[in-house]
Amino acid sequence: LIPTAEETPYPARYTFSQPAAGWEKTTFAAAQSWKTGPAPFTDEASRPGTPWKSHDVWVRRVVTVASPLPKGPLTVRVWHDDDAEVYLNGTLLARRPGANGRYEDVPVPAAAQKALHTGANVLAMHCVNPQGGAHLDAGLYKELPQPRVPLAQQTGVTVTATQTTYTFAAGPVQLTVSFLSPLLLDELETVARPVSYLTCTATATDGQPHPTQVLLTEAGTLASNTPYQVVATRPGQAGALHWRAVGTTKQPVLATAGDGVRIDWGYAYLAAPGAATLGAGNPLTLKTAFARTGTLPAGAPTQQGPAQRVAQAAVLDLGAVATAPAEQHLLLGYDNPYAVQYFGQNLRPWWRRDPAMTMEKALAAAETDYPRLRQKATAFDQKMYADAQAAGGKKYADLCQLAYRQAVAAHSIVAGPTGELLFFSKENFSGGFIGTVDVTYPSEPLFLLYNNELAKGMLRFMFDYSESGRWKKDFPAHDLGTYPLANGQQYGEDMPVEEAGNMLI
């Protein structure tokens, strides 16, 4: 109804000075002191919008709403830092304390919804900035109803070091869905290769044959930072595999840095061997068609649009499933030409350190390795759990299982300027820093145990930073920048005791 700036950039009237009473009402006439600027209002220089560094900002925005008006609940979508209040035509829609750090949907009280009318509406906002960051943007939304599709019942889940396996009951068919990321640290090239596997296995519980199909959709938002960035899909083939890839149309390589942000360069891949059917389109259309027919709707070879409205999909036709297991698998991959910027130089991911390497080659190699890696990963999971249980008991082993993939996946294996291996961490939701010493310290035991080269890779860049003279203090740096830009420490406080202690130990 009234989109946020993330979805549709818009200008608005604003002031940093206390306005007269009634500033939120439709009858208010903004004085010449009110300026016009693009939303959002923020202190983040990397974001488009109007710079805001004062204590308060007041914003007025006029939007035309067409007939008919929506029925049912409305929500205010707001990103505020700090306290904020949002009005529609003088009626308070939401008052939110503190900072939320991202867009959040806030239900509008039923009485306040009556403020919306056809024609010109005034959305007015006020936000305070007593300390820290500053950000304000808001819009008004109506959630569309979702089609009612019967749900399979989840009957179990098992998490091991490299795999997560779910079981479902769909009528008389039992479906097992297993995700495998072959993070076998004694195989560096396999760990670095950005390909995981999804395996679907079905059996009938009543002994009778049942035609069975499985749909997997892969959202365009896997390859975008925001749900409104424009993405496009394309099809292709790699040996016996056929694949779909989705990525943003602008491909801003290494341009999106920060915390709570997502990669928006490179391409997310969905690949299938054999007879699986691949397609792309609106995710709601794909799911609705599959629920009705067990197939994908006909569509153009390529699809383009906002990331949240584009998905690629695979249909696995398992045939008439009976007591004998029927099984098929898919490959999930991500291709990014550059992973990290290191003191101004863009570095390739380790698996692409040879410019001749392509995602098609990586997918083909991953498909060849699938039977071997599946068997080896299962054996590793069992051994790691047994070793951890022997060392610290069942609770410790359970924690090790949960932490293993998270610890490995929080890093990027990169080829350095002279070909050396660098292993960069990202400090998620704690500043977004890259190569943080006090993040390296607690994960070092894992890599000292399973692959010393990765342990060294977490230290090389910190030594280089100090020895190069770029870091001029007599204790270790806290970090190397904000992921994926490793161009020098960004943390405002040095923490010399903790970082020096971590490095010494």
Residue 357 belongs to a domain: no
Question: Mean pLDDT across the stretch 17-36?
Answer: 91
pLDDT tens for each residue of 141-197: 998 777 677 889 999 999 999 999 999 999 999 999 999 999 999 999 999 999 999
Residue 288 tokens read as: 């609705």
Please state whether the predicted TM-score (pTM) of the whole model is above 0.75.
yes
Which pLDDT value is given to residue 145? 76
Q: Which domain holds residue 430?
A: 370-504
Q: How far is residue 126's CA from residue 83's CA, in Å, rounded to a whole number?
A: 8
Note whether 392 and 457 are same-domain residues: yes
Q: How far is residue 108's CA from residue 484's CA, in Å, rounded to a whole number?
A: 38
Short-list 402, 347, 370, CA closest to 164: 402
Note whether 252 and 159 are same-domain residues: yes
Residue 101 belongs to a domain: yes
Average pLDDT of the chain is: 95
Question: Mean pLDDT across the stretch 417-440?
Answer: 95
Note whether 165 and 312 are same-domain residues: yes
The last residue of one of the domains, among 114, 141, 168, is 141
Does 32 or 505 have the greater pLDDT score?
505
Note whether 172 and 313 are same-domain residues: yes
Which pLDDT value is given to residue 144? 78
Question: Mean pLDDT across the stretch 194-218?
Answer: 97
Question: Mean pLDDT across the stretch 1-15?
Answer: 93
Note whether 413 and 379 are same-domain residues: yes
Residue 6 belongs to a domain: no
Question: Mean pLDDT across the stretch 214-218?
Answer: 96
Note whether 57 and 168 are same-domain residues: no
pLDDT tens for each residue of 483-500: 999 999 999 889 999 999
Question: Mean pLDDT across the stretch 363-380?
Answer: 98
CA distance readout (Å), 295 to 199, 214, 398: 19, 9, 40
Note whether 104 and 185 are same-domain residues: no
Residue 24 belongs to a domain: yes
Residue 85 belongs to a domain: yes
Please, which pLDDT band fits residue 272 given cuts at 50, 70 and 90?
very high
Which pLDDT value is given to residue 301? 80
Note whether 116 and 181 are same-domain residues: no
Which pLDDT value is given to residue 476? 95
Evaluate the omega torsion of the peptide bond into residue 40 and state whether it is cis, within 30 degrees of 0.
Answer: yes
Q: Into how many domains does the chain fold?
A: 3
Question: Mean pLDDT across the stretch 456-472?
Answer: 96
Note whether 229 and 377 are same-domain residues: no
How are strands ordered across the β-sheet holding 11-15? 35-38, 11-15, 56-65, 119-128, 84-88, 91-96
Residue 345 belongs to a domain: no
E strand intervals along 117-274:
119-128, 135-141, 153-159, 163-170, 173-180, 195-204, 210-219, 230-238, 241-248, 267-273
Which pLDDT value is given to residue 44? 85
Note whether 204 and 287 are same-domain residues: yes
Which pLDDT value is given to residue 275? 74
The last residue of one of the domains, among 141, 166, 185, is 141
Report percent pLDDT > 70 for the chain. 100
Q: How far is residue 327's CA from residue 214's CA, in Å, rounded to a whole number?
A: 11
Which pLDDT value is given to residue 342? 98
pLDDT tens for each residue of 310-325: 999 999 999 999 999 9
Question: Mean pLDDT across the stretch 192-204?
Answer: 98
Residue 75 belongs to a domain: yes
Q: How far is residue 85's CA from residue 93's CA, in Å, rounded to a whole number?
A: 8
Please, which pLDDT band fits residue 71 given cuts at 50, 70 and 90?
confident
Which pLDDT value is given to residue 29? 87
pLDDT tens for each residue of 322-349: 999 999 999 999 999 999 999 999 999 9
Residue 364 belongs to a domain: no
Note whether 132 and 157 are same-domain residues: no
pLDDT above 90 (res 121): yes
List the CATH number of the domain containing 48.
2.60.120.260
Note whether 90 and 172 are same-domain residues: no
Residue pair 3/139 in contact (Cβ under 8 Å)? The answer is yes
List the CATH number of the domain containing 316.
2.70.98.40
Residue pair 222/268 in contact (Cβ under 8 Å)? The answer is yes
Q: How far is residue 470's CA from residue 479's CA, in Å, rounded to a whole number?
A: 13
pLDDT above 80 (res 83): yes
Residue 26 tokens read as: 């439709």
Parallel, antiparallel or unpaired: strands 50-51 and 267-273: unpaired
**Length of the chain in terms of residues written:** 505
Estimate to the nearest angstrom the gap between the alpha carbon of 457 and the chain centroid.
25
